A and B are shown apart, each in its own frame.
Chain A
Amino acid sequence: MNYNWDWRVFFKPTGIGNEIYLDWFVTGLGWTIALALSAWVIALLLGSLLGVMRTLPGRYAARIAGAYVELFRNVPLLVQLFVWYFIVPDWLPEPLEDWFKQDLHPAISAFISVTICLGLFTAARVCEQVRTGIQALPRGQAMAAYALGLSLPQVYRQVLLPQAFRIIIPPLTSEFLNVFKNSSVASLIGLMELLAQTKQTAEFTANLFEAFTLATLIYFTLNMGLMLFMRWVEKRVRVPGLIALGGK
């Protein structure tokens, strides 16, 4: 098979508007980052709540959070995405359904579906990390806080969570990176994020090696950059004297 290498392909016009192919990658990267960040906000908030629930003294809260984790961890991400994209909108009340399906730009409705899907999917993983972090603290911490007369919310807010979050930065970082990688499933419901733009460039130009190499480089750089940044953060906020607990 013959193949024409041409690395200048990214600067060629796409024939659509005034865009060059590189613009597609920039747009795609923008969607990917927007998706990952908004899903991460949901995942972090909901995951922390669930993680706390799993460590509460009462039985029901822990069970509900446990069931949530099992459900979202044992169904493939793509199935969950189909549920959020194809099924849930049909279950909405009529005016909301019409708004979601007709008034919204297709890219926005796909964006909402993927964000909710990724957020809830990742929340199950964040929950387990938060739980591990809380349980890794010496039990005396909670006891001492109660003995000082703090209420249950105060114990969590002022004693347990600030320490737990600092311990679990490394595993949380890898979940954060996973959100970026997992956001590529959005390409399967037509959202033009990085992977979808790559595929489109490969199909338009037939320079598929160049297109996929660039996409790989972007993901790789993004991951490495975020990882280095989080390592720096981790060092800054490390709990003194607790290093032995860190990591796991």
Chain B
Amino acid sequence: MDFSPIVPALPSLWEGMLLTLKLLAFSVIGGVALGTVLALARLSSNKVLSLLAGFYVNYFRSIPLLLVITWFYFVVPFIIGWITGTNQPIGAFTSCLVAFMMFEAAYYCEIVRAGIQAISRGQVNAAYALGMTYGQTMRLIILPQAFRKMTPLLLQQSIILFQDTSLVYAVGLMDFLNSARSQGDITGNLHEFLLFAGLIYFIISFGASTLVKRLQKRLTV
């Protein structure tokens, strides 16, 4: 075991980590936003809307993330081509981002839905009694409370997402894991680089979930 080649490779590993974090940040934001919309649709009194959202969630929860990533890598360029009529490649990063957002939205949706359902019915009734519209009730009364309650769960899901971003290896995107692997191949120290990557993933995930647990304790009364 010789861990010294890792030191000169640190800049390119850092590049990979930046890509991982960028992918994570955009996916979390997009996923939570889309997931919230889906949760509202699922809880809506409109049967069609609720059924469609339910189907979306069940659909994405029953297929592997890796399948979605590969699907989108091949297919998204086609779809964008059909919509815009142009023929330009969009790159692996964008297709992965779309895949993560749409896939994770299904999981975030279930968290948000549980969060909204945990708010007592009287809150909605009181808001309506004050003359608020549906939009105002959700935006000003229900969602702020629901999000406060479900922050730990959303963060926990995001830690899982952080680990899952390593699957972009499948389409050759240079994220943290893939840059560690390629540096390992170049220097001939694949073992050390992979173990190092594992260690970094462990430290970040473990540290983050410890913090989330602490937050959870503080949030529960």
Contacts and interface: CB of A to CB of B under 8 A. Distances in A.
Contacts of B74: 202, 208, 212
Nearest to B167: A78
A177 B206 CA distance: 25
Contact of A1 (B82, B177, B205): B82
B190 interface: yes
A79 B206 contact: no
Contacts of B65: 181
A70 interface: yes
Contact of A216 (B58, B66, B71, B202): B71
A86 B191 contact: yes
A197 to B, nearest CB: 12
6 tightest Cβ-Cβ pairs between the two chains A and B: A223-B62, A74-B205, A181-B64, A76-B163, A184-B64, A76-B166
A71 interface: yes
A199 interface: yes
Nearest to A1: B81
Contact of B75 (A74, A90, A195, A209): A209
Given A82-B181, A83-B194, A75 B66 contact: no
A1 B78 contact: yes
A45 B39 CA distance: 37
B201 interface: yes
Report which residue of A90, A199, A224 has the largest number of chain B beta carbons within 10 angstroms of its beta carbon. A199
A71 B169 contact: no
15 contacts: A71-B202, A74-B202, A75-B205, A76-B163, A76-B166, A76-B201, A77-B166, A79-B197, A87-B195, A181-B65, A184-B66, A202-B74, A209-B78, A212-B75, A219-B62
Interface of B: 58-59, 62-67, 70-71, 74-75, 78, 81-82, 87, 163-164, 166-167, 169-170, 177, 181, 190-191, 194-195, 197-198, 201-202, 205-206, 209
Given A208-B74, A209-B75, A76 B164 contact: yes
B202 to A, nearest CB: 5
A211 B195 CA distance: 36
Nearest to B198: A79
A219 B197 contact: no
Given A75-B198, A187-B170, A219-B64, 5 more contacts: A75-B163, A79-B197, A185-B66, A195-B66, A209-B75
A224 B62 contact: yes
Contacts of B190: 86-87
A70 B206 contact: yes
A60 B180 CA distance: 35
A206 B19 CA distance: 30
Interface string A1-25: 1010000000000000000000000
A232 interface: no
Contacts of B198: 75, 79-80, 83
A73 B205 CA distance: 9
A71 B198 CA distance: 10
A179 B75 CA distance: 26
